[in-house]
Structure 1
Amino acid sequence: MKKEKIMQMIQAYDGLNLYMTTDTPESPRAVVIISHGMCEHSGRYAAVTQKLFDRGFKVYRYDLRGHGKSEGERGFYSAPDEITEDLHRIVDIASEENPGLKRFLLGYSMGGFAVADFCTKYPDKAEGAILFDAATRDNLGGFSRVSQSLDPLTRFPNKLAKRLTSDPEVTAAYKADPLNASYFTAGLSQQLTLGIRQLTANSTFRLPVLLLHGEKDTLVDPSDSTDFFAQIASEDKHLKIYGNTQHEIFNEAVKNQVMTDVTRWIENRL
């Protein structure tokens, strides 16, 4: 399939530059926007993008502020809605460029929070959400264990690599990738804690949603997804837990099944 790839800097709502990549097939069937997790970047989603592209979907992916090639203090947020409003900007660009095409948002881990929060606040701006091991709750206390009174610029080393996937090649590549952050800040955890609290208190999420989670995820507990599933207002909602899989289900042995599940789910809603 013929492919057009565009890599560019776009301005966020506050003027900060975000790095965005767009992959466009000849005749797009729908738009998918990918929001990645903490301490990584959108380039790690090339394989996911290819699977979506092969099914005729136009894919937008971007580096979150303070991540990858985007501007901003590394691994830092100063308000709980920054991550959501950056996604809002990408969705608006995708909508302007693709009138008449349905928009589906795919969020992983921290990016899953951004997607869930965005769809709760702006339900008319997307037709559905896919959440991979999403931080829609914080049952393990990964974010909330950082005190709100700590200096927001306090740095914590990135020790995620060994808990992301059981694939040693992916782990080695993650460690060697210079665009993956070596640290994150207290500010990121503090603001995500506040954001997740707000999301938990607001159960009005009503869009079609596909929740996918790894059974042995030790970074975002599967109960985060089961709780979110039980509490939201969506009538069209599906939850699948993949057995014997860690946090990056798209990099586990089930990765082809994961993407088959995703593409079929989208196609059934076109």
Structure 2
Amino acid sequence: MSTFTSSDGTVIHVREWLPVDQEPVGIVQIAHGMGEYAARYSHLAERLADAGYAVYAPDHRGHGHSITGTPGDLGENGWNLLVEDLVTLTRLLRVKHTGIPVVLFGHSLGSFAVQQYILEHSGLVDDVVLCGTTAVDQLFAMIAEADGDLLGLFNARFQPTRTTADWLSRDEAQVDAYVAHPWCGFDLDPANMTQLATVAAERLSKPTTVPTDLPVYVMVGDRDPLNDNLRLSDLLIDRYREAGLTDITYRVYPGARHEILNEINRDEVEADLIAWITRVPSP
């Protein structure tokens, strides 16, 4: 694990997985979701390292090893600083590993950060992956209709429920590990949640500054409540296509819930993702 210091003085901890006995062929930078931490992506990261990729995953501010106070508290202007932290890390990795491509992967909240990242900084990355993602403005409109009970709204679709996190996966062992871990299951602080739900969500609804040739891979489960039976992930895809993006891959996993990387078919999901990352792009 390494660290870097953010522009506001917050120390961001970064977990890394490197290929053995070879120089990396590329970089995969992972942005994890809300109320979790980078090491939860070890299974995928180890497979990517075996394929020759250097993998780096920061614990976002307010998460994991980067928690400095209450879990989920990002600090003043924390949402924008979280996105800035991802940009800073990419720049550091570009210096550390010169001349190789960078894949930026974001899951859930991390995918929202990636959506904002590529509005202004897409030139830093070669490929983008949005996992467990959605049209953020419409997600928060749906949450508002449910009186703001975000996690309750998600779990309500899986009655009768066994835990408070059944919406994450059909794999009960993965759900139980999530529920039991002190670094999992919390929301962002109210100020930054509001910032994400309003100003940021509005910006993300108009992806007109994203380069039209940026390759984007969108991967979701069709039972993921964040995309409302694919209605909102379909909308996200439509918005990118309307903005002119021409290299979009949209993969849907039947029966899968929110954390498709922790689902009962995770090996299939990871294999599909790695095949896309390692593909030879069209000339």
TM-score (norm 1): 0.87
Amino acid at match of 1:76: D
Report what 1:210 is aligned to.
Answer: 217
Amino acid at match of 2:278: E
Report what 2:180 is aligned to.
Answer: 176
Which deviates more, 61-70 or 158-167?
A: 158-167
Instruction: Rate the CA distance shift 1:81–1:143 in 2: closer, same or farther, 3 A.
Output: farther
- For the 8 Å contact 2:83–2:113, the answer to whether it is kept is yes
> For the aligned residues, what is the CA RMSD?
2.6
Distance, in Å, in 1 between the alignment partners of 2:36 and 2:123 is: 29
Structure with greater proportional helix content: 2
Amino acid at match of 1:172: D
Report what 2:100 is aligned to.
Answer: 101
Post-superposition offset of 1:61: 0.4
- For the 8 Å contact 2:18–2:49, the answer to whether it is kept is yes
Counterpart among 255, 278, 281 of residue 267 in structure 1: 278
Report what 2:3 is aligned to.
Answer: 9
Instruction: Rate the CA distance shift 1:115–1:184 in 2: closer, same or farther, 3 A.
Output: closer
Deviations 1:56-96 (A, max 9, x none): 11100010110111044531344342221011111111111
SS at match of 1:94: helix
Report what 1:130 is aligned to.
Answer: 129
Q: Which runs of 5+ in 2 are unaligned?
A: 156-163
Report what 1:70 is aligned to.
Answer: 66
SS at match of 2:60: coil
Post-superposition offset of 1:253: 2.0
Counterparts of residues 235-250 of structure 1 (less than 5 Å): 235-250=246-261
1:53 pairs with 2:49: yes
1:229 pairs with 2:233: no
Distance, in Å, in 2 between the alignment partners of 1:220 and 1:125 is: 28
- For the 8 Å contact 1:213–1:241, the answer to whether it is kept is yes
Q: Which runs of 5+ in 1 are unaligned?
A: 1-6, 151-155
Amino acid at match of 1:218: P
SS at match of 1:213: strand
TM-score (norm 2): 0.83
Deviations 1:217-263 (A, max 9, x none): 01343333222211123211110111011000111122111111111
Distance, in Å, in 1 between the alignment partners of 2:176 and 2:96 is: 37
Distance, in Å, in 1 between the alignment partners of 2:109 and 2:137 is: 11
Structure with greater proportional strand content: 1
Post-superposition offset of 1:162: 2.2
- For the 8 Å contact 2:133–2:233, the answer to whether it is kept is yes
- The percent of aligned pairs where both chains have the same amino acid is 27
SS at match of 2:36: coil
Report what 2:161 is aligned to.
Answer: none
- For the 8 Å contact 1:142–1:219, the answer to whether it is kept is no
Aligned length: 258
